[in-house]
Amino acid sequence: MPSFDMPATVDPQAFLQLHTDDMSDPSCRIKINHGTTTLAFKFQGGIVVAVDSRATAGSYIASGTVKKVIEINPYLLGTMAGGAADCQYWETYLGIQCRLHELRNHERISVAAASKYLSNLVYSYKGMGLSMGTMICGWDKTGPQLFYVDSDGTRLKGDLFSVGSGSTFAYGVLDGGYHYNLSDEDAIELGRRSIYAAGHRDAFSGNTVNLYIVKEDGWRFVGPLLPSPSPASRLLTPPPSARSKTSTSTRCTTTAGTRPSSTRRTGRACPVREHRLSRRSRSRRSRRRREDDGALVRS
């Protein structure tokens, strides 16, 4: 088990609360990266894991490209919520122990054993200022498994969890659309919509949505997905029929029977047509002027 140098004080927890932003004193000068929304749920095809990518330090956005899923091994994933440093360190350390278990026992560690090891590890540091809420999810001999572990040593098994400052908003979407018989596409879309809803309402969550799906042959990274357009922006976009009418009404030709390489869709007059009309109007004016001059000479 790793060991750390503790502050030379009687109460290390009070020392950490005094010098970090433990939410009880947000005016502290040391700002720990935190704030997130993570979720995972089981369905008939495996497990979907969805997270946002924003990290905040106090009232500032520290990063918008944080990787909040730790790839422990090809069949096991861990999520990050709470203090970024605590989650990254302990889950990376868990990956080392899982690899040692494989070398010693010649088989992959089960999801239950990995989550129990992490729970026992952080429980030994209970009350020392750790900030961590993680989900350990993967596929082993018993099928897909999902566990929640936090920095107090709590360990829960379940089918659906959401952790982080925006989890209440994510639960609102998850509870309305979740059922076990979801298809892969519907499960991925449900995870994306849930994280997007949390990022829309929670100031500490946002940016892109990173999605993983865990199957019997291991996890697969679906990709960073950008939020879909809001309903208001979709209302402002003209339908395809209106766009086609606009494009045909503003189409112009350079010569008889030929079209320009690019069709203007801005609604402005075609410069080629304007030039030809101006030449015609000048020729008409000059013709009238000559006719008027001839009439004066004959008179």
- Examine the pLDDT at 226 and tell me if it is beyond 80: no
Asked if the structure places residue 9 within a domain, the reply is no
- Examine the pLDDT at 264 and tell me if it is beyond 50: no
The tens digit of pLDDT for each residue in 56-100 reads 776 778 788 888 999 999 999 999 888 888 888 999 999 999 999
Asked if the structure places residue 248 within a domain, the reply is no
Nearest to 252 by CA among 280, 276, 273: 273
* b (16+ CB within 10 A) / e for 109-123: bbbbebbebbbebbe
* Domain limits for position 193: 20-231
Predicted pLDDT at 55 = 78
Total structural domains in the chain?
A: 1
The tens digit of pLDDT for each residue in 111-151 reads 999 999 999 999 988 888 788 899 999 999 999 999 999 98
- SS3 (DSSP) at 47: strand
Among the listed residues 36, 37, 38, 79, the single catalytic one is: 36
Asked if the structure places residue 107 within a domain, the reply is yes
Say which residue the tokens 């000559």 belong to.
Answer: 290
**CATH code, domain with 64:** 3.60.20.10
The Cβ of residue 57 has, within 10 Å, a number of other Cβ atoms equal to 16
C-alpha distance from residue 153 to each of 30, 70, 167, 277 (Å): 26, 19, 20, 81
Determine the Cα–Cα distance for residues 99 and 125; give it in Å rounded to an integer.
23
Asked if the structure places residue 13 within a domain, the reply is no
Asked if the structure places residue 66 within a domain, the reply is yes
Asked if the structure places residue 163 within a domain, the reply is yes
Specify whether 258 is catalytic. no
Asked if the structure places residue 243 within a domain, the reply is no
The tens digit of pLDDT for each residue in 156-178 reads 999 999 998 888 899 999 999 99
